[in-house]
């Protein structure tokens, strides 16, 4: 089931940190040390548009992921964790090797049923059901996460950032409740994020100044999970010497609601949010224009055989909930209306050939281009409204 796959990957340690310790070989699998890794390669083909490389009317191999991660229980109340990640996803992510996250977790209060702690460092951000483990292929419900909620174009903003989070949990007869509340300095400084908030890559620099995040989760005895996530992030733009934009600000805010029900071999999941983007002060080249979007998906996962799983998902994304068909946007800007919405129907198949090797196949039928990666499709007028996408992926963990 999806929930059990998620639980084994939540706390992981930076490989370089372990390499610096005097523990090697089999001792790393002991009670205080744990190291895991994975590598995955994808193959993507599309019609009409591009996704993660030159996939149009062909196949792109520019989707590669690899990570080394683990945990170290340095003290009884202190756990260090982190991950080194290599990721290549077409023109949208060319950063290659990077420190994904590196955090310390100090549990300063603990009883048999409750605990409180602080996480600090480059921390994983609590956002919905899948964000904290989105880089591990085995924990995702499909090759791609639902793009309406977990848009890959803005993953740098949502993934991890320097900051601190207070967290707590309590297990009672009515279930398990946990919360996270904290502050981080978000990462807006990427080409993909600039496409989302500024329309295209800009010569200046967009830097995050601060963000507040919170999440409340309730796991009921009925195998039901209910969750609310709140995010409020701000960034400032410093223009280049020859720049059409003035020094402006961007604010991003969202409340995301999550429901998941697990029924033996079937898992049903739905998430809904209304993210609000508000660019201000950029001048005539980018007029002030606050929009509230709508993001929703409904997903089913059926483990019909011990090693086989079928996934079916329908998702909707509207950049402006008051202009769902994009016609007002088209009349005002002259750009295609379909850049303001995306409706996706996805079907996926997973085969765990061994406990360590997973093979996946996935097909998407998409109407709209609202979450199409900008760096892979830099010319607005060349994007086409209706398109299909197929994906294959092999993933190995060790």
- DSSP-based three-state secondary structure for 285: coil
pLDDT in tens, 287-327: 888 899 999 999 999 999 999 999 999 999 999 999 999 99
Residue 348: HSE in the Cβ half-sphere, 13 Å Cα cutoff: 31
Q: CA-CA distances (angstroms) from residue 319 to 274, 290, 330?
A: 9, 11, 13
**What is the model's pLDDT at position 92?**
81
Checking if the pLDDT of 60 tops 90, the result is yes
Report the candidate in 268, 380, 378 with the shortest Cα–Cα distance to residue 3.
268
Checking if the pLDDT of 17 tops 80, the result is no
Q: In the structure encoding, which two tokens stand for residue 95, read together?
A: 């950063």
Residue 94 pLDDT class (50, 70, 90 cuts):
confident
Q: CA-CA distances (angstroms) from residue 91 to 53, 55, 152, 387?
A: 6, 12, 12, 19
- Cβ(37)–Cβ(18) below 8 Å: no
pLDDT in tens, 216-251: 999 999 999 999 999 999 999 999 988 999 999 999
The rounded distance, in Å, linking the Cα atoms of 328 and 217 is: 38
- Cβ(377)–Cβ(383) below 8 Å: yes
Residue 23 pLDDT class (50, 70, 90 cuts):
very low
Residue 157 pLDDT class (50, 70, 90 cuts):
confident
Checking if the pLDDT of 5 tops 70, the result is no
For every residue of 299-333, DSSP letters joined together read EEEEEEETTEEEEEEEEEEES-TT-TT-HHHHHHH
Checking if the pLDDT of 380 tops 50, the result is yes
Would the CA dihedral through 371, 375, 378, 383 be positive or negative?
A: negative
- DSSP-based three-state secondary structure for 34: strand
Q: In the structure encoding, which two tokens stand for residue 38, read together?
A: 């994975």
Higher pLDDT, 191 or 354: 354
**What is the model's pLDDT at position 192?**
80
- Cβ(150)–Cβ(158) below 8 Å: yes
Residue 156 pLDDT class (50, 70, 90 cuts):
confident
**What is the model's pLDDT at position 287?**
87
Q: What is the mean pLDDT of the chain?
A: 89
Residue 22 pLDDT class (50, 70, 90 cuts):
very low
| Structural domains for the chain | 2-397 (2.40.160.10)
Checking if the pLDDT of 14 tops 60, the result is no
**What is the model's pLDDT at position 18?**
32
Q: In the structure encoding, which two tokens stand for residue 256, read together?
A: 């995301």
Higher pLDDT, 192 or 373: 373
Mean per-residue pLDDT, 176-184: 97
Q: How many Å is the Cα radius of gyration of the chain?
A: 21
* Listed range (45-49, 78-82, 215-219, 377-381) with the worst mean pLDDT: 377-381
pLDDT in tens, 105-128: 999 999 999 999 999 999 999 999
Residue 103 pLDDT class (50, 70, 90 cuts):
very high
């Amino acid at each position: 089931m999806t929930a059990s796959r998620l639980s084994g990957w939540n706390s992981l340690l930076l490989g370089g940190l372990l390499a610096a310790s005097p523990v090697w070989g089999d001792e790393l699998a002991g009670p205080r040390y744990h190291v895991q890794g994975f590598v995955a390669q994808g193959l993507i083909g599309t019609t009409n548009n591009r996704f993660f490389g030159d996939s149009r009317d062909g196949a792109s191999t520019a989707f590669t992921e690899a990570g080394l991660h683990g945990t170290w229980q340095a003290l009884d109340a202190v756990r260090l964790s982190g991950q080194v990640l290599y990721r290549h996803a077409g023109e949208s992510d060319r950063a290659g090797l990077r420190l994904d996250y590196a955090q310390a977790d100090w549990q300063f209060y603990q009883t048999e049923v409750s605990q409180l702690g602080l996480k600090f460092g480059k921390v994983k951000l609590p956002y919905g059901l899948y964000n904290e483990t989105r880089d591990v292929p085995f924990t995702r419900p499909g090759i791609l996460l639902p793009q309406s909620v977990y848009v890959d174009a803005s993953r740098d903003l949502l993934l991890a950032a320097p900051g601190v989070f207070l967290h707590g949990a309590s297990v009672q007869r009515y279930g398990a409740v946990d919360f996270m509340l904290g502050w981080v300095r978000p990462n807006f400084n990427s080409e993909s994020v600039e496409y989302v908030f500024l329309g295209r890559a800009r010569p200046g620099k967009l830097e995050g100044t601060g963000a507040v995040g919170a999440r409340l989760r309730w796991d009921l005895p009925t195998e039901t999970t209910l969750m609310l996530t709140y995010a409020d992030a701000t960034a400032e733009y410093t223009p280049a010497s020859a720049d059409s934009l003035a020094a402006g600000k961007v604010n991003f805010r969202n409340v995301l609601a999550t429901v998941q029900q697990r029924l033996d071999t079937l898992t049903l999941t739905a998430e809904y949010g209304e993210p609000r983007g508000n660019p201000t002060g950029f001048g005539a080249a980018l007029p002030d224009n606050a929009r509230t979007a709508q993001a929703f998906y409904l997903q089913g996962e059926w483990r019909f055989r011990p090693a086989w799983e079928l996934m079916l998902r329908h998702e909707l994304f509207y950049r402006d909930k008051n202009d769902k068909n994009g016609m007002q946007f088209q009349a005002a800007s002259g750009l295609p209306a379909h850049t303001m919405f995306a409706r996706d129907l996805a079907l996926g198949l997973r085969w765990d050939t061994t406990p360590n090797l997973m093979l996946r196949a996935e097909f998407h039928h998409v109407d709209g281009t609202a979450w199409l990666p900008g760096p892979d499709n830099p010319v607005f007028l060349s994007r086409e409204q209706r398109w299909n996408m197929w994906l294959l992926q092999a993933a190995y963990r060790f």
